[in-house]
């Protein structure tokens, strides 16, 4: 692992690090904020999965999470959204290829050699961060935005014993029934749609739900509502009587202005679970 940068931030350290990833067969970069408490004791960790076109940097600089994580005494890790590099398959469309890994393990050509983001965010990166930094992997929570909200919800419901809470901003809630999902799942996972359901948060909510609290925020002026299909997840949560909240925020869109407006709520929500 290499240190790209470390900067003093709200009493803690905002770092950026790179390493050679076995899962993705390329170099990967991630950001990690460590609050001041991490100087003396391992702290709980909150994972944030970003959306389409983003890298580790977008939420690090735009979401405003560090202040609230510093106040709560929680580490914040922000992985990249896909493998990258000259040898990594890509596509001219913004919603496929580099910047659009969808947090799955690709099985199809030309994506399979590098696009193993599920293994990266659930296995390789947690093991690396846990071995190199003062974080307590017995206290983890996860959240994300858009494609990353999809990732956070599906990861949490698939690995329920690992995470104490999960939240999402404007998640792609029903990708097996949306052009943001069917296109990517077909490319990465192949034409057998039975293999897609493990990566659809609405279907997972209907099937098993999550044993801890769930928080979802969705802007009513989101320009991508027809692609996100939030009503399907809300209906699934209600039918399952899932512990949590699905909140419609009047007038908000899909941007980082929306996320930063409610970031305090989300970090406090996770901190309560992490320190329970």
Specify the pLDDT at position 134: 98
Q: Which of 114, 199, 254, 270 is catalytic?
A: 254
Those residues with Cβ within 8 angstroms of residue 49's Cβ, 6 or more apart along the chain or in another chain = 79, 81, 103, 121, 142, 143, 144, 145, 147, 148, 149, 151, 152, 155
Structure tokens at 64: 């405003």
Cβ-defined contacts of 12-15 (< 8 Å, 24+)? 12/36, 12/38, 12/66, 12/69, 12/70, 13/38, 14/60, 14/66
Residue 121 makes CB contacts below 8 A (sequence gap 6+) with 47, 49, 79, 103, 151, 155
**Is residue 230 within a helix (H) or strand (E), and if so which, with residue range?**
helix 230-240
- pLDDT given for residue 223 in this prediction: 98
Per-residue pLDDT reduced to its tens digit, 248-263: 999 999 999 999 999 9
- Is residue 146 annotated as part of the catalytic site, yes or no? yes
Q: Domain limits of the chain?
A: 2-275
The yes-or-no answer on residue 254 being catalytic is yes
Given the residues 217, 222, 266, 270, the one annotated as active site: 222
3-state secondary structure of 118: helix
CA angle 204, 228, 264 (to 5 degrees): 85
Tokens describing residue 106: 């690709």
Cis omega (within 30 of 0) for bond into 110: yes
Task: Quick: pLDDT tens for 90-149.
Answer: 999 999 999 999 999 999 999 999 999 999 999 999 999 999 999 999 999 999 999 999
Tokens of residue 104, six digits: 């799955």
| Catalytic-role residue among 50, 146, 165, 167 | 146
Residue 171: in which H helix or E strand, if any? Answer: none
Question: Which CATH number applies to 2-275?
Answer: 3.40.50.1820
DSSP structure class, residue 100 = B
Question: Among this protein's residues, is 222 annotated catalytic?
Answer: yes
Report the DSSP beta bridge partners of residue 34: 13
- Which pLDDT score is estimated for 119? 98
pLDDT at 232: 98
pLDDT of residue 39: 97
Number of other CB atoms surrounding residue 114 within 10 Å: 23
Closest CA to 173 of 143, 141, 151: 151
pLDDT-flagged residues of the chain (< 70): none
Phi, psi of 46 (to 5 degrees): -115, 125
Check residue 188 and give its pLDDT. 98
């Amino acid at each position: 692992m290499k240190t790209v940068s470390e900067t003093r931030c709200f009493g803690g350290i905002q770092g950026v690090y790179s390493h050679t990833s076995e899962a993705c067969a390329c170099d990967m970069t991630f950001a990690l904020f460590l609050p001041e408490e991490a100087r003396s004791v391992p702290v709980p960790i909150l994972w944030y999965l970003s959306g389409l076109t983003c890298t580790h940097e977008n939420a690090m600089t735009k979401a405003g999470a560090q202040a609230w994580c510093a106040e709560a005494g929680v580490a914040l890790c922000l992985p990249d959204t896909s493998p990258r590099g000259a040898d990594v398959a890509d596509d001219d469309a913004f919603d496929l290829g580099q910047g659009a890994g969808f947090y799955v393990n690709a099985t199809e050509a030309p994506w399979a050699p590098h696009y193993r983001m599920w293994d990266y965010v659930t296995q390789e990166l947690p093991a690396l961060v846990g071995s190199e930094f003062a974080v307590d992997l017995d206290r983890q929570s996860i959240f994300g935005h858009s494609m990353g909200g999809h990732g956070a919800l599906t990861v949490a419901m698939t690995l329920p014993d690992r995470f104490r809470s999960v939240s999402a901003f404007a998640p792609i809630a029903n990708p097996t029934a949306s052009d943001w999902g069917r296109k990517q799942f077909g490319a990465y996972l192949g034409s057998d749609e039975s293999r897609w359901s493990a990566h659809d948060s609405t279907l997972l909510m209907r099937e098993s739900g999550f044993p801890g609290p769930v928080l979802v925020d969705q802007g009513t002026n989101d320009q991508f509502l027809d692609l996100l299909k939030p009503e399907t997840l809300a209906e699934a949560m209600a039918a399952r009587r899932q512990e949590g909240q699905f909140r419609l925020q009047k007038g908000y869109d899909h941007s980082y202005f929306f996320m930063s407006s409610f970031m305090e709520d989300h970090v406090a929500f996770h901190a309560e679970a992490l320190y329970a």
